[in-house]
């Protein structure tokens, strides 16, 4: 009989220094408490990595972990987590990516892998139906991510770095198919290990533990995804670039290195312009019904259509309003293996340094002529590109300009300016990895979601209910990233339930703004619970599932505190804390929100999780 079950409970442990390959099992307790994905990756690093190591040393460990949903028909469940100590921030960080690698890794017999050490030569790792070999990659070193995967596609499904990772650019990415694990420099960690890529191929059958329960939950989940306006229509029609109009008009989209609230060429780079003028077709991760990815015609050439974050940071942030240019830059970034958010931030910061006479360069806002060359200079660390490859924080330490260096904990700010959505500022300040838009992201509930004048659920300014929602959304995201479910399932799963869908908007707004604890406690997570119960074969309650997210977030915070993170680091760029007279912006009362946030978390006044909180969450210290 074939071995069919939802998880393998086997992890690969590969030491590239000694070439030793080990395997170990995930305990039943760890599976229940951490699920998989981000949860198990965090737990493994907590158990195996030394504190205060250099992220680019052989001591760093990079973990790639699938979730229980990978390889099942669960919607948007094929993504996997990459986690390590970040060379950009010096603290722990994770990134998420789609593509086919996660499913193939699971079908090869493993739920995840850990890579430690450093090879004495350039290599890649091959995982073929459980057999693991380390192979020479010297002839492929220097290839871009697209060409490499195309050339080697017969071997299986890949995660791979480009020249930026090979040259240890601190914000280099990892590619999986045409998808990107984009933040915090995971590609540089692979490069530091002389590891070009990992390929997986497998034939093991994957099934769920309770087919009837799962089938029922899946039918309901798919109906909600198709019914919700975002997942069922807007993402399919417009992709994530739909956010350009919403956040551009709300003074949230970054403009001119985060110095202005509005971009006068916003419509030129909108999703609607892409749809109407660039002959778009959809694509998506394996098994995903949403298919938010897009391919379009730019400069008469078919290429990946830029996501919102790329349009924001490489477009409006640099005062660039030509989609053809942005699409070409996006293609180069993906091929070379660079994070578009950090790249756009770093170039924008260099432009302002140049404008203020603090740096000698040819970079100017609105001048597209030097951008492609600069992207390549960063990837190959040539000339000024060598400094830019270090990121905004280190660039400001060398040239000055800390007041307009927009990063948190060393991670460049994502495409949502918190002066237009102040709760997002608290989310940036407290996110474990720095200024990510994927942790405690309140910008959606602080903005009129459809731009139709209905108003936002939370006020875009002020502090009311912001700490409650940041804590809730951080825990929710850690749970979904452990299961794994794509974040795009949150809207349909939470908003298509009757209690939310049929409650009049004024009442919802009142409860969310004035009774946030009740709003949190009554949020319906039944779709996540039902799907996970069907996959794993035992009943998972809302309380248990939410506690997974809380546990994972607190464990990573505890790990970061051991690296020196404290209250002093839970802050925002100085330029974002100062009062502004710009229309749509307001001062971010961070200290007030932070005090409430720490109290809700059960942390002490210095941002350290208290022992009773760790004990409650079964975290051993």
Q: Is 575 helix (H, G, I), strand (E, B) or coil?
A: helix
Handedness of CA 347, 176, 75, 44 (dihedral sign): negative
- pLDDT for the residue 309: 97
pLDDT confidence of 453, banded at 50, 70, 90?
very low
What contacts 442, CB < 8 A, 6 or more positions away?
A: 421, 423, 424, 426, 427, 458, 466, 469, 470, 473
The predicted pLDDT at position 451 comes to 46
Q: Residue 188 maps to which CATH number?
A: 3.60.9.10
**pLDDT tens column, 99-133:** 899 999 999 999 999 999 999 999 999 999 999 99
190 and 49 together in one domain: yes
Asked whether residue 476 is assigned to any structural domain, the reply reads yes
Residue 216 has pLDDT above 80, yes or no: yes
Cβ atoms of 99 and 287 within 8 Å: the answer is: no
Residues 424 and 387 in one domain: no
Question: Over the stretch 13-59, which tens digit does the pLDDT of each residue have?
Answer: 999 999 999 999 999 999 999 999 999 999 999 999 999 999 999 99
Question: Does position 363 have pLDDT exceeding 90, yes or no?
Answer: yes
In the predicted structure, residue 452 carries a pLDDT above the cut 70: no
Do 24 and 149 share a structural domain?
yes
- Asked whether residue 483 falls in the same domain as residue 597, the answer is yes
Q: Judge whether 34 and 552 are in contact, CB under 8 Å.
A: yes
Query: Is residue 455's pLDDT more than 60?
Result: yes
Question: Any idea of the CA torsion for 348, 354, 358, 360, to the nearest 10 degrees?
Answer: 120
Domain ranges, residue 601? 418-616
Domain boundary pick from 151, 175, 201? 201
Phi, psi of 442 (to 5 degrees): -95, -5
Distances (CA, A) of 245 to 92, 263, 270, 447, 533: 33, 11, 6, 12, 39
pLDDT exceeds 60 at position 67: yes
More confident residue, 489 or 200: 200
Question: Minimal CA–CA distance to 142: which of 334, 335, 291?
Answer: 335
Residue 192 included in any domain: yes
CB 520 within 8 A of CB 472: yes
Instruction: Please check whether residue 51 is in contact with residue 152, taking contact to mean a CB–CB distance below 8 angstroms.
Output: no
More reliable by pLDDT, 170 or 574: 170
Residue by residue, DSSP assigns 285-339 as STT-SS--EEEEEETTEEEEPPPHHHHHHHTGGGT---HHHHHHHHHHHHHHTB-
Q: Are 187 and 207 in contact (CB under 8 A)?
A: no
159: closest CA among 121, 138, 187? Answer: 187
What is the pLDDT, as a whole number, of residue 292?
85
Is residue 207, in this structure, part of any structural domain at all?
no
Let me know the angle formed at the C-alpha of 476 by 551 and 541, rounded to the nearest 5 degrees: 75
Token representation of residue 364: 């100017």
List the 301-304 sheet strands across, edge first.
Answer: 281-283, 293-298, 301-304
Q: Do the Cβ atoms of 151 and 163 come closer than 8 Å?
A: no
Q: 74 and 195: one domain?
A: yes
The reply to whether 215 falls in a domain is: no
State yes or no: pLDDT of 355 exceeds 60.
yes
Residues 558-584 have pLDDT tens digits of 999 999 999 999 999 998 998 888 999
The verdict on 479 and 338 lying in the same domain is no
For residue 3, the 8-state DSSP code is -
How large is the greatest C-alpha to C-alpha distance in the chain, in angstroms? Answer: 72
What residues form DSSP beta bridges with 532? none
Residue range 146-171: average pLDDT?
Answer: 97
Contact in structure between 607 and 598 (CB atoms under 8 Å)? yes
Percentage of the chain lying above the pLDDT 70 cut: 98
Note the pLDDT of residue 182: 86
94 vs 46: CA distance, rounded Å:
14
Nearest to 243 by CA among 488, 42, 32: 488
> With bands split at pLDDT 50, 70 and 90, how would you rate the model's confidence at 2?
very low
Q: Please tell me whether residues 53 and 15 are part of one structural domain.
A: yes
pLDDT at 449: 55
Residue 497 included in any domain = yes
The CA distance from 607 to 426, in Å, is 13
pLDDT at residue 462, as a whole number: 94
**Distance between CA atoms of 9 and 300, rounded to whole angstroms?**
48
**Long-range contacts, 277-281 (Cβ 8 Å, 24+):** 277/323, 278/305, 278/323, 278/327, 280/239, 280/305
281-305 mean pLDDT: 86
Share of the chain above pLDDT 90, in %: 85
> Which is higher by pLDDT, 236 or 16?
16
Two structure tokens written together for 199: 């390929």
Are residues 14 and 126 both part of a single domain? Answer: yes
Token pair of 361, please? 């360069």
CA distances from 333 to 242, 268, 304, 415 (A): 21, 21, 11, 17
Please report the DSSP string for 109-130 in residue order.
Answer: T-SEEEEES--SS-EEEEEETT
H-only helix segments in 400-437: 422-430
Res 1 pLDDT > 90 = no
Q: How far apart are CA 188 and CA 389, in angstroms?
A: 11
- Shared domain check, 180 and 295: no
In a domain, 209, yes or no: no
| Residue 375 to residue 332: CA distance in whole angstroms | 8
Higher pLDDT pick, 337 / 179: 337
Point out the domain boundary residue: 151, 183, 201: 201
- My answer on whether 77 and 108 are in the same domain is yes
Count of other CB atoms within 10 angstroms of residue 547 = 17
Q: Give mean pLDDT, residues 262-283.
A: 93
Q: What is the pLDDT of residue 289?
A: 83
CATH number, residue 605: 1.10.599.10
* Whether residue 66 sits in one domain with residue 161: yes
The H or E element spanning position 468 is helix 466-483
Separation of alpha carbons 237 and 242, rounded Å: 9
Give 3-state DSSP helix, strand, coil % of the chain, rounded to 5: 45, 15, 40
Positions of E strands within 350-481: 407-408, 411-412
Tokens representing 9?
Answer: 């409970």
- The chain-wide mean pLDDT, for the chain, equals 94
The token duo for 91 is 């603290």
Residues 89 and 41 placed together within one structural domain of the fold: yes
Rg over CA atoms, the chain: 23
What is residue 324's predicted lDDT score, i.e. its pLDDT? 97
> Is residue 222 domain-resident?
no
Answer whether residue 224 is part of any domain: no
pLDDT at residue 4, as a whole number: 62
Based on the structure, what is the number of domains in the chain?
3
Q: In the listed set 369, 400, 431, which residue is the last one of a domain according to the structure?
A: 400
Does the structure show a pLDDT above 70 at 454? Answer: no
DSSP class of residue 361 equals -
Token reading at 269: 């780079």
The confidence band for 293, taking pLDDT boundaries of 50, 70 and 90, is confident
Fill in the DSSP letter of residue 132. E
Q: For residues 469-500, b (16+ Cβ closer than 10 Å) or e, as one string? A: bbbbbbbbbbbbbbbbbbbbbbbbbbbbbeee
pLDDT at 3: 57
């Amino acid at each position: 009989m074939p071995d069919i079950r939802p998880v393998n409970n086997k992890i690969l442990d590969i030491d590239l220094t000694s070439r030793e390959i080990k395997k170990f099992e995930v305990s039943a307790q760890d599976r229940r408490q951490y699920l998989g994905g981000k949860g198990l990756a965090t737990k493994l690093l907590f158990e195996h990595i030394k504190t205060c190591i250099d992220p680019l040393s052989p001591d760093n460990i990079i973990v790639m972990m699938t979730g229980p949903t990978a390889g099942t028909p669960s919607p948007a469940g094929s993504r996997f987590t990459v986690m390590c100590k970040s060379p950009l921030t010096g603290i722990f960080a994770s990134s998420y990516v789609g593509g086919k690698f996660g499913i193939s890794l699971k079908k090869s017999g493993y739920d995840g892998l850990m890579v430690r050490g450093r090879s004495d030569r350039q290599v890649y790792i091959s995982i073929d139906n459980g057999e693991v070999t380390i192979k020479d990659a010297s002839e492929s070193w220097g290839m871009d991510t697209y060409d490499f995967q195309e050339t080697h596609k017969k071997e299986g499904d890949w995660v791979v770095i480009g020249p930026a990772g090979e040259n240890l650019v601190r914000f280099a990415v990892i590619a999986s198919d045409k998808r990107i694990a984009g933040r915090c420099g995971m590609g540089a960690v692979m490069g530091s290990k002389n590891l070009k890529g990992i390929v997986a191929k497998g034939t093991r059958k994957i099934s769920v533990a309770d087919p009837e329960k799962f089938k029922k939950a899946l039918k309901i989940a798919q109906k909600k995804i198709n019914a919700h306006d975002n997942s069922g229509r807007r993402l399919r029609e417009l992709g994530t670039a739909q956010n350009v109009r919403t956040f551009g008009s709300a003074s949230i989209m970054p403009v001119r290195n985060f110095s202005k609230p509005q971009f006068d060429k916003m419509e030129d780079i909108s999703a609607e312009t892409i749809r109407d003028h660039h002959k778009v077709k959809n694509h998506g991760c394996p098994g995903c019904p949403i298919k938010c990815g897009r391919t379009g015609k730019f400069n008469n050439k078919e290429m990946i259509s830029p996501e919102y974050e790329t349009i924001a940071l490489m477009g409006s942030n640099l005062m660039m309003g030509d989609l053809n240019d942005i699409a070409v830059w996006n293609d180069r970034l993906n091929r070379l293996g660079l994070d578009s958010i950090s790249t756009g931030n770093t170039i924008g910061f260099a432009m302002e340094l140049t404008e203020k006479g603090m740096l000698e360069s040819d970079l100017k806002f609105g001048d597209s002529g030097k951008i492609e060359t600069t992207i390549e200079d960063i990837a190959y660390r040539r000339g000024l590109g060598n400094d830019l490859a270090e990121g905004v924080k280190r660039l400001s330490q060398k040239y000055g300009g800390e007041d307009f260096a927009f990063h948190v904990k060393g991670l460049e700010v994502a495409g949502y300016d918190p002066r237009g959505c102040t709760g997002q500022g608290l989310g940036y300040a407290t996110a474990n990895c720095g200024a990510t838009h994927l942790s405690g992201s309140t910008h959606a509930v602080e903005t009129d979601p459809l731009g139709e004048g209905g108003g936002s659920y939370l006020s875009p300014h002020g502090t009311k209910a912001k700490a409650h929602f940041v804590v809730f959304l951080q825990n929710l995201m850690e749970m979904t990233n452990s299961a794994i479910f794509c974040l795009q399932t949150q809207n349909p799963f939470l908003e298509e339930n009757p209690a939310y869908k049929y409650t009049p908007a004024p009442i919802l707004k009142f409860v969310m703004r004035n009774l946030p604890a009740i709003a949190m406690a009554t949020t319906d997570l039944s779709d996540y619970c039902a799907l996970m119960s069907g996959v794993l074969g035992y009943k998972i309650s809302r309380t248990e599932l939410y506690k997974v997210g809380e546990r994972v977030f607190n464990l990573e915070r505890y790990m970061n505190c051991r690296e020196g993170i404290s209250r002093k680091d839970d802050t925002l760029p100085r330029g974002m804390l100062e009062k502004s007279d710009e229309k749509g912006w307001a001062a971010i009362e961070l200290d007030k929100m932070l005090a409430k946030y720490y109290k809700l978390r059960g942390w002490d006044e210095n941002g350290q999780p208290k022992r009773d909180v760790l004990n409650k969450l079964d975290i051993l210290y």
